Amino acid sequence: MPHADHSISATAVYSRQPDIVSRNIVGETILVPVRGELALLDRLFVLNGLGEHIWQALDGKRTISEICASIVDAFDVNQKTANRDLIEFVVELEEAGLVVAAPHDE
């Protein structure tokens, strides 16, 4: 169960781990860990359209705020819903070791 009390700054930047391969199979994106401890997991990560959009946007360059705006544009949802879904998903990805927060310079 995701933690409800995670706060991620709107200016935070996340990037995908380099040892994760993504493949689109019959309209679903599947994340496959290919090395290290993640490769020992007994499950694959299957993403829906929103999950794939977020996964691709976690490029180490875009902020959470920028990704949220792209979700609002692409999926016709309000900013509050987009932000909530984005934060929950990033927390899940981070807890699974699939993404890391980039160093943040202010």
Q: Which residue has the higher pLDDT, 94 or 103?
A: 94
CATH domain 13-98 topology: Arc Repressor Mutant, subunit A (1.10.10)
- Around 92, how many Cα atoms within 13 Å sit in the side-chain half-sphere? 14
Give pLDDT, residue 12.
96
The per-residue pLDDT for 47 is 93
pLDDT tens-place string over residues 22-63: 888 888 898 887 766 655 556 678 999 999 999 999 999 999
Q: Which helix (H) or strand (E) holds 48?
A: none
Q: Which of 40-44, 84-88, 91-95, 96-100 has the lowest mean pLDDT?
A: 40-44
Looking at residue 5, its pLDDT comes to: 46
DSSP character for 9?
-
- In angstroms, the Cα distances linking 36 to 20, 42, 63, 78, 95 are 10, 13, 27, 38, 16
Span of 9-13, 52-56, 60-64, 102-106 with lowest mean pLDDT: 102-106
